[in-house]
Structure 1
Amino acid sequence: MQIKKVFAAILAFACLAVAYPGAVSSEDDVLTVVVIHIPPFVDLKSDPTKPAGLAIDATTKMAMACGLRVQFIQAPAWSRVLAMAKSGTVDALTPTLVTDERLEFLDFSADPITRLDIALFASTNSTPVTTESLSILDGKRIGRLIGIATEKRIDAYIKGGKATLVKHMTYRSLLDNLTRGRVDFVVGPRLMVEHAITDLGAESEVMRLTPDLGQVIGHLAFPKNRKTSGNKERKIRECILQTDLPK
């Protein structure tokens, strides 16, 4: 019994969990949602006791509209988020994109959580170009953060062998390699990359190319193999997954 108590304490300390108040109080009406730190969509560092950000606000609003309150759980990496989703240890994850692979183990909210404008960035030491033609990527090295969305045309360009994808774990290493000439471009959600540029004080070293490449949509997603209470399951199935909620 003592071992179980110690384990429970360690688990509680390891996972940041914050319940947002709502109109309901039953644990059957608490939606556990796993997230990672991807500002400005999910900010877990400004106030460690209270997740914030665009995706946090939208998820909370969507859940409350369906009679649920939210408990956010922090994961250290996107790979851990997917592992928790596949094992069914949480009710949901946010924000995530709809892909053929994810449709095999996730159901997605009817309404989007985020709309991400995808942009291309270059070093200010490079020759200014526009993104009107992807031919600027021919033979180039494109840096991207692991687990972060790009844009289908660029994905196709890379898969076609016209450019080389270089994956990084952090924006610090990604932008450092851009300014040092180890990658030619960085691609990613504009707001996320711009937030990282400002956070690292690299405004004079990195420039955004225009126009933006396109937009991808992030959703609140639910593991198919998650076993929830009948009341919570009903609210997920009959409201979040089926209804276009009022804005």
Structure 2
Amino acid sequence: MARFLQEDAPDLGDNPDRQRVAAVDAWKHSDFLCKNYILKGLDNALYNVYSPMVNAKALWESLERKYKTEDAGSKKFVVGKFLDFKMADSKTVISQVQEFQLILHDILVKGMVLGESFQVDALIEKLPPTWKDLKNYLEHKRKEMKLEDLIVRLRIKEDNRQSEKKAGNYHQEAKANVVKQDEFLNLDELNDDADGDKHDENVVAIVDENGFDGASNDHNAGQLFGHEGTNATNN
């Protein structure tokens, strides 16, 4: 079938003999079968577009131009996604690693090959800003690492960071509770002091109102405080 996609139909020429005519007819029949074999692989919309093509070669070249151009465009798109991809601190690293792996898969599907060491270096380079220390460490690590090993290491590191964050939050909450409790106790003490001062003021006001004056008012003072004055008893 490949010959009908690459070769032009034979020409009858001037004054063809019967054998030449038979050869041309056989070619046209085979070309017709080849063309329809290709058209059967297209969906209805594409079939209507490409069925008017005069022969299998013209049909094949038209399809090749269209899809090779589109494939080149899709390759550029995937490569662009790979180059622009950068991790952010707003999302978990592992979820972004999975996005990175999907981009790598798309690149491989397009027929482009990336060495594993390149994939590892690219993933390290795309780590978020808060992972700067690990990034610097891995960039200067001499021993080569497999992509799978790097992903496992990142997963462990992220789990540890989340555990430390939870522990820090718990410590902050406990500290805040202690501060609130101290403030509450101090407020109670202030209220107690205020009540005591108010009681003393009331006593002074009563004393002033009854006109207490030294020993002459011991009897009244005794009545006020629930006992008889000593001077009154002696008199």
TM tier, smaller: under 0.3
Between Structure 1 and Structure 2, the one with more strand by share is: 1
Between Structure 1 and Structure 2, the one with more helix by share is: 2
Higher RCO (C-alpha 8 Å, min separation 6): 1
- What is the TM-score with the length of structure 2 in the denominator? 0.18
- What is the TM-score with the length of structure 1 in the denominator? 0.17
Q: Which structure: larger Rg? A: 2
